[in-house]
Amino acid sequence: MNNLVIGQFVPGSGILYRMDPRTKILMTIVYVFLLVFANSWPTYLWAAIFLLAALILTKQGLGLYWRGIKPILWLILFTVVLQLLFSGGTPVLFQWGAIKVTQPGLINAFYVIVRFVLIVLMSTILTITTPPTAIASAIESLLKPLKAIKVPVAELALMLSIALRFVPLLMGETDKIMKAQKSRGMSLSTGSLIKRAKAVIPLLVPLFVGALQRALDLANAMEVRGFESAEGRTRYRELSYGRDDVLAFIAIAVFAVGFLALSFIK
């Protein structure tokens, strides 16, 4: 749990830390949206170069991002296995009974790995360089046009801010519960798969109970302080675009144009 980097803010001094959170959110959305339509190795290479530049601008060690990817390696591996075993086409590279590995399946599996890693890393860059409150404020600002159709933008932003604040709290609570259960002789890493699945239940029950209790305490605290609506609240720091944001928009535009151009290369 301590290695789960995505969703956590890590203080730093890189250029991306000085950028407006709205710029980083829009950059992430455009990057992920285009990456979904990547169809060849030049597009993935171009996306990887852009991501590498963003990683350098954070001035964080690559080990930080590797620690963030390790907890989800099993999910990447599972997805790759599905691509290998259930993708059709020819030629067949390996076959054992009904199980066969084809060349298109192998290529798709490689693309899935690259796409998965790139999306996770870009999302991690957003969260480690932007405090949760700044992300909530940026989303509220970006969704302001929806107020015209009576969408409660301020309330949605408040809910997001609270949810993001709960992430590290729940992670810490999970770590405490796991250590408490281990001290009582419980093991989550030994025994059969069914036994380990059953061992998770004593972990989930107190975690959900604790999360609900925290939510109730927060609701009561907001009520006794007279909280009624997030609409019209002022902020200590107002969002504003700067020179770094203009350069970032130019960079993402260049990336998008280059990506679309490479998409037509077969």
Q: Mind listing the pLDDT tens digit for each residue in 55-110?
A: 999 888 887 788 777 777 777 788 777 777 766 667 766 666 666 777 777 777 88
Q: Which residue has the higher pLDDT, 88 or 122?
A: 122
Q: How far apart are CA 8 and CA 168, in angstroms?
A: 7
| One domain for residues 244 and 133 | yes
Q: What pLDDT is recorded for position 51?
A: 93
Q: What pLDDT is recorded for position 36?
A: 86
Indicate if the pLDDT at residue 167 is higher than 90.
no
| One domain for residues 102 and 141 | yes
| One domain for residues 193 and 140 | no
| One domain for residues 177 and 243 | no
8 touches 127 (CB < 8 A): yes
| Rounded (5°) CA angle 241-19-30 | 90
| CA proximity to 138, closest of 23, 251, 246, 58 | 23
Q: How many domains does the chain have?
A: 2
| CA proximity to 215, closest of 257, 174, 166, 179 | 166
Q: What pLDDT is recorded for position 235?
A: 67
Q: Who contacts 205 (Cβ-Cβ below 8 Å, separation ≥6)?
A: none
Which among 128-137, 197-206, 232-241 has the top mean pLDDT?
Answer: 128-137
| One domain for residues 53 and 102 | yes
Residue span of the structural domain in which 189 resides: 153-230
| One domain for residues 163 and 53 | no
User: How many CB atoms neighbour CB 143 within 10 A?
Assistant: 15
| CA proximity to 30, closest of 110, 126, 164, 145 | 126
82 phi and psi angles, rounded to 5 deg: -60, -40
| One domain for residues 141 and 21 | yes
- The pLDDT tens digits of the residues spanning 235-264 come to 667 788 889 999 999 999 999 999 999 888
DSSP track, 214-238: HHHHHHHHHHHTT---STT---SS-
| One domain for residues 65 and 131 | yes
| One domain for residues 252 and 217 | no
Lowest mean pLDDT among 32-41, 120-129, 177-186, 254-263: 177-186
Retrieve residue 228's tokens: 């009624």
| One domain for residues 80 and 207 | no
| One domain for residues 251 and 142 | yes
| One domain for residues 239 and 146 | yes
**Amino acid code (one letter) for 56:** I
